[in-house]
Structure 1
Amino acid sequence: MISDAELDALRLSGEKVRVVRDEIQSNDVTGIVVAWDGEQVLIRRQNRRVVKLDRNYQYQLFSEPRKSPLEE
């Protein structure tokens, strides 16, 4: 699970993140971190829609190469 400190750093920097939900790359969600609570994170996508995602997913910087969830 991603920590509050990591989420806060991503929110303040405004960097685009990739949320890897499973092995299929087309199912990834990209956007910026807007807010979070104990169980969910709000991501604002490029089309300005907001998506609620579980904190247990893998959060990566969009500028870095995609890492598969099975590699860990």
Structure 2
Amino acid sequence: MTEEQLDKLRLDGTKVRVVRDALELNDVVGFVVAWDDENVLIRRPNRRVVKLKRSYAIVPASEPRPDVLTEN
């Protein structure tokens, strides 16, 4: 995900889903807070902040969940 896309998600306040593996249970849902070259910070609904790798799939939560097994 590019810097511009992350900035748009942050400014719009769009809820995102970070897909880490094939299990939907392991997804992180929240709002983009900040990022650098390698990581992104997501604020979860419980107000805790999670630091995740930018290599994970980041999609708006309103869109269907991507199937990470078939895309890789």
User: By how many angstroms is 1:68 displaced?
Assistant: 1.1
After superposition, the C-alpha distances for 1:20-66 in whole angstroms (9 at most, x for unaligned) are 00000000000000000010000000000000000000001101111
What TM-score, normalized to structure 1? Answer: 0.95
1:32 alignment partner in structure 2: 31
1:50 alignment partner in structure 2: 49
Two-structure CA RMSD over aligned residues (Å): 0.7
Q: Which runs of 5+ in 1 are unaligned?
A: none
Give the number of aligned pairs.
71
After superposition, where does 1:1-72 map in structure 2 within 5 Å?
A: 2-72=1-71
User: By how many angstroms is 1:71 displaced?
Assistant: 2.6
Higher RCO (CA 8 Å, separation ≥ 6 residues): 1
Aligned residue identity for 2:3:
D
What TM-score, normalized to structure 2? Answer: 0.95
Q: Which runs of 5+ in 2 are unaligned?
A: none
